[in-house]
Chain A
Amino acid sequence: MIAGVDGFMYPNEVELQWSVLIVLYPYITGLVAGAFILASLERVFKVEAVRPTYRLALLTALAFLLVAPLPLQLHLGHPERSFEMYLTPHRSSAMAMFGFVYLWYLTVVLLLEIWLEFRADIVRLSQTTTGLTKIVYRALTLGSQNVSPAARALDDKVGFAITVIGIPSAFLLHGYVGFIFGSIKANPWWSTPLMPIVFLFSAMVSGIAVVMLLYMAAMKVKRRPIDMNCVDTIAKYLFYTFVIDFTLEMLDLIHRTYEADESFRSLDFMVHTRLMVSQIIVQIVLGTLIPLALLAMNQLWTFAEKTRRLMYAVAGGLTMIGIFAMRWNVVIGGQLFSKSFLGYTSYKLDLVTREGLLPAIALMLLPFAIFFVLIKLLPPWAEEPTH
């Protein structure tokens, strides 16, 4: 008997290949895509109520996007060779496109949109600050000091166009991550055409939740009043997106149960044993049903402001945990059963190894540190009226 193994595994399957770092990868890219889509609500779909979070959402997306490739890099057996994916991408590989999709999203969509949005502030700050800060802002102007109404109108036009391109790009970024898993025919836990769309909607759910939480937290820290119309609207969109996401996941579950193909018994047993806590309890009950109920209650009844804030904070926090659990169950769950369907292995999360818990926690905290720097550098509330 091998420790941690029940039944029969092919001998090379006992050790898991993709660790908690690969759980972080779709989680983080999901937050990017979701935050950007929330930003686009204001810009493209003219949902004025969410305007206070527009800049915040863009900076959130950037903070997470900068970290997105790090877990992958840390996971590679030969990180120094990762640039080969740019030089000699293998065209038939779903993974080979990641670098290009990433670069496109980072440079063409996010950096450009943020620059255009903040350009006037950058120019103003480059003129009003002194010393090193001035040099930084001068560099960020990229040599353009023109903030005439005509120039700003042009910025706005180009920014709008970029957001329009950015929406399908955000869909591409995360739908593509889903495809990396969904296209593996050898693994029935992953192999479903629903995977990209499930990933996409869960990304939107987590991205909207993180921006909502960050907005409320930032207002609290800055002792500014929370715009409840804005948070109510975000919560409404979170609820709608969550309903679609949960429906898709349930559709997948019902489809698997009803078809009951040769993998079903094995996977069903896994869900009832090794994934009981992470899937049933954390993902579905704590991370989905409870936040959905809290959000639904707010659609049906009107609660006092303080109660709403608390409900949204709890719902948002649980949503974040739930979506993380979903990524965990996809990535780790997909490796716990044997492709012979005759046995199960276990995942042992180390603490301080390269792919251990501590690096994972550090990688998860890093976007928040970057976010903190970004809001210091480019204050998202510069144009907001102070109350």
Chain B
Amino acid sequence: MDISRRDLFITGGKILMVASVGATLEQITGAEPAPDKYKMADHWWGMIIDVGKCIGCGNCVRACSNENDVPEGYFRTWVERYQVAEGEENLRVDSPKGAIDGFPPSSNEALKSFFIPKLCNHCVDSPCVQVCPVGATFDSPDGVVMVDESYCLGCRYCVQACPYGCRYLHPEKNTVDKCTLCYHRITQGLTTACCENCPTGARQLVDFKNPKDPVHEFLRQNKVQVLKPYMATKAKVYYKDLDGSVR
């Protein structure tokens, strides 16, 4: 086929136009160059929670609910308010709608009061993973406990086995659902929705395998505890200043 100089200019011009439109679109949509490929073996995820910083605003619950399309009445994360008198006789705990709208003012001003954000503890020895009859609940190599919803039978044995009440049956999918530590975000270099929306920095996603992660300094400097340590699940959500009354 003969190509004249005129054809070359016309075709070249068209290619140039398509390329510049594509480049402009990329600018408009804000597409970024692909990050370095995520390597699961390089991470070991968990969370640290500074109890003293939590103000019970419920931002984390709302953010999680929006980000993960959590059905109403179920919770991947929630906040509990503890009101403790001397001794445990008068222990009062509430979490109205998981604190998705925060908390009403307390009438018990004389009591010691604090907020406890809760989520899946992404245990190393997870009872939920142990009991799943088909392995639909599994540990990812980067330390996140997840559910394969295309495989889950919906038997709910894992819900019974979780000591922390972190699982529920999704009413539409009929499979078990729970916190994934916003896996779709953290593998893109972002933090979780709950951590990103916490106004006081009470919750912080941490990567135990990253030597530069502040978690190492945090664990050195502070006295921390996990929930229900006697369950021996090797939970990876560490609480700073956790009161003994917390269940």
A128 touches B (CB below 8 Å): no
CB interface residues, A 12-26, toward B, < 8 Å: 12-13, 15, 17-18
Known: A76-B153, A186-B127. A12 touches B231 (CB 8 A): no
* A341-B131 Cα distance, complex, nearest whole Å: 23
Give complex CA distance A12, B167 in Å. 7
- The verdict on B168 contacting chain A, using a C-beta distance below 8 Å, is yes
Q: Are B155 and A88 in contact (CB under 8 A)?
A: no
Q: Given the complex of chains A and B, what is the CA–CA distance between A78 and B152 in angstroms?
A: 8
| B165 CB within 8 Å of chain A | yes
B174 to chain A, nearest CB (A): 3
Query: Can you pick out 27 interface pairs between chain A and chain B where the beta carbons lie within 8 Å of each other?
Result: A8-B92, A9-B165, A10-B118, A11-B78, A11-B98, A12-B75, A18-B160, A75-B155, A76-B153, A77-B156, A77-B169, A77-B176, A81-B134, A81-B152, A92-B129, A93-B135, A95-B155, A184-B160, A185-B163, A186-B163, A186-B231, A187-B160, A339-B164, A340-B93, A340-B165, A341-B247, A342-B93
Assess whether B146 is interfacial by the CB under 8 Å rule: no
Is A96 touching B133 in the complex (CB atoms < 8 A)?
A: yes
Which of B's residues lie within 8 Å of A, judged by CB? 74-75, 78, 80, 91-95, 97-98, 118, 127, 129-135, 151-157, 159-169, 173-176, 231, 247
Chain A interface secondary structure, helix, strand, loop or mixed? loop
Residues of A within 8 A of B (CB): 8-13, 15, 17-18, 72, 75-78, 81-82, 84-85, 88-90, 92-96, 98, 180, 184-187, 334-335, 338-342
Cα–Cα, bound, A92→B134 (Å):
10
Which residue on A lies nearest to B76, using beta carbons? A12
Measured CA separation A93–B94 after assembly (Å): 34
Report whether A82 and B153 are in contact in the complex, using a CB–CB cutoff of 8 Å.
yes
**A17 to B128, alpha carbons, bound, how many Å?**
14
The one of A10, A78, A89, A186 that contacts B160, using a Cβ cutoff of 8 Å: A186
Contacts of B166 in A (CB 8 A): 12
CA of A156 to CA of B91, assembled, Å: 67
Nearest chain-B residue to A86 (Cβ)? B134
The chain A residue sitting closest to B246, CB to CB, is A340
20 more A-B residue pairs beyond the given contacts A93-B132, A93-B133, with a C-beta to C-beta distance below 8 A: A8-B93, A8-B95, A10-B95, A11-B78, A17-B159, A17-B160, A18-B160, A76-B154, A77-B153, A77-B155, A78-B154, A82-B153, A85-B134, A85-B153, A92-B131, A98-B133, A186-B161, A187-B160, A339-B247, A342-B91
Interface of B is mostly: loop
CB-based contact A81/B75 at 8 Å? no
Residues of B within 8 A of A85 (CB): 133-134, 153
Contacts of A17 in B (CB 8 A): 156, 159-160, 169
Chain B nearest CB from A142 CB (Å) reads 33
**Chain A residue, CB-CB nearest to B170:** A77
A78 and B247 contact, Cβ closer than 8 Å, known pairs A185-B231, A339-B165: no
Top 10 nearest A-B pairs (CB, nearest first) are: A77-B154, A10-B165, A77-B174, A186-B163, A340-B247, A90-B135, A96-B133, A8-B93, A17-B156, A95-B133
Residues of B within 8 Å of A187, CB to CB, are 160
Cross-chain contact B133 with A342 (CB below 8 angstroms): no
Is the Cβ of B153 less than 8 Å from the Cβ of A90? Answer: no
Contacts of A88 in B (CB 8 A): 134-135
State the CA gap A8–B135 with chains docked (Å): 32
Is there an interface contact between A18 and B156, defined as CB atoms closer than 8 Å? yes
Known contacts A77-B169, A186-B231, A340-B247; is A95 also within 8 Å of B157 by CB?
yes
Min C-beta distance of B102 to chain A, whole Å: 14
- Complex Cα–Cα for A184 and B78 (A): 24
Contact residue among A11, A180, A339 (Cβ-Cβ distance under 8 Å from B163): A339
Taking each of A88, A95, A334, which has the highest tally of chain B beta carbons within 10 Å of its own beta carbon?
Answer: A95
B169 engages A186 (CB within 8 Å): no
Give the complex CA separation of A96 and B155 in angstroms: 11
Residue among A15, A17, A82 with the most chain B CB within 10 A?
A: A17
Q: Which residue of A lies closest to B162 (CB)?
A: A186
Q: Which of A72, A92, A340 makes the CB contact (< 8 A) with B130?
A: A92
